[in-house]
Amino acid sequence: MSKDSLKNSTRGKKKISPSKNLTLKSMTTDQFSEEKLKSLLKTEQLGKKICFFPSLESTNLFAKQLAEKGEPHGTLVIAETQTKGQGRLGRSWHSPKGGLWFSLILRPSFRPFLPQHLTFTAGLAAAQTCSRIIPNVSLRWPNDIYVESKKIGGILTEGRTKGNDFEYCIIGIGLNVNLTESEFPSILKSEASSLLILKKEKVEIPLFLANLLLLWENILKIYSQKGFAPVLNSWKKYAHFLGTFVKVDTPTKTIEGEAIDVTLSGSLKVQDLDGMIHEISSGDVRRLTSN
């Protein structure tokens, strides 16, 4: 994950009243059933508390407000649509009905941990879950989920610091699950896709999410017990962009070269045509070659 997405954006924002909504009864819509999710969930912590809404501005925003009120580790906020879905680097995230838009509050009890590592755990879980449905799933640094040249999902991590430590992290995952071609605006059509388009079959969202959360919880366990190296090694198996030529837009400059590695701190290493190696902690990667 890049440091750019680690913003502490709860300050100065109008607060809604999540505690009232937390008492809502279980909800079912044509895409999602909270009861179904509960019956399928085999996790110990992730998703033990579920806040589902037919519509929210942004699940990340709502999860942050819940976290500020002390909601526990593993609380899941999920919305059928988002009216102000947030992407990385201040971009907006198109979130119509049919997608999987959710955020988790993470308050890891183990130390030390890095928020960018948590993003990698989420990316790996998402890639593993998608791979059970379609082939050729890949991860592009920092944590975009692709199938060949089309993006099918992304991750937005935000956190609140307390001194040198993190009080909580919000990890928001957006996955184009059951979106049809016509649901993408023309500007996204050439670069985005969905599981439905690729598999030509509707995916059952509660089952998909239950699988993802279980895989994620197991990856978090590995991270807490063995550190980031084994997580990164598994992540790299999906990192098909490594070894290819890329163009990286960083906040200060654009770098072109071969993507040679991702480091244990989560930075991307790019070797330019002069042989110079750049270690990049924040930016956007575009592939210049297919391999």
* Cβ within 8 Å of residue 2, ≥6 positions away: 88, 116, 142, 266, 281, 282, 283
Taking the C-alpha atoms of residue 198 and residue 190, their distance in angstroms, rounded to an integer, is: 14
Part of the chain binding ligand BTN (CB under 6 A), chosen from 100-108, 157-165, 185-193, 237-245: 100-108
Strands of the sheet containing 245-249, edge to edge, are: 277-280, 268-271, 254-262, 245-249, 284-287
Which is nearer to ligand BTN, 119 or 267 (by Cβ)? 119
In sequence order, which residues have a C-beta less than 8 Å from that of residue 32 and are 6 or more positions away? 52, 78, 80, 205, 206
From the list 23-31, 112-120, 167-175, 257-265, the region that binds ligand BTN by CB under 6 A is 167-175
Told to check if 174 binds ligand BTN by CB under 6 A, we report yes
Stretch that binds ligand BTN, among 34-42, 166-174, 198-206, 262-270 (CB under 6 A): 166-174
Place of tokens 């163009």: 247
| Residues 31, 273: Cα–Cα separation, whole Å | 48
Q: Which of residues 65-94 bind ligand BTN (CB under 6 A)?
A: 82, 85-88, 91, 93
Query: Interhelix angle for 205-226 vs 228-236, to 10°?
Result: 130
Among 2, 31, 33, 58, binds ligand BTN (CB under 6 A): 58
Residue 275: CB minimum distance to ligand BTN, A: 31
Residue 144 interacts with ligand BTN (CB under 6 A)? yes
Least distance in angstroms from the C-beta of 158 to ligand BTN: 9
Is residue 112 reached through a cis peptide bond, with omega within 30 degrees of 0 on the bond before it? Answer: yes
Q: Provide, rounded to whole angstroms, the least separation between the CB of residue 146 and ligand BTN.
A: 11
Could you tell me which stretch among 97-105, 124-132, 250-258, 283-291 binds ligand BTN (CB under 6 A)?
Answer: 97-105
Whether residue 185 is preceded by a cis peptide bond, meaning omega within 30 degrees of 0, is no
Q: Does 155 bind ligand BTN (CB under 6 A)?
A: yes
Tokens 């937390």, residue? 22
Interface with ligand BTN, residue 206, by CB under 6 A: no
Report the interface residues with ligand BTN, using CB under 6 A: 58-60, 82, 85-88, 91, 93, 95, 101-103, 144, 154-156, 172-174
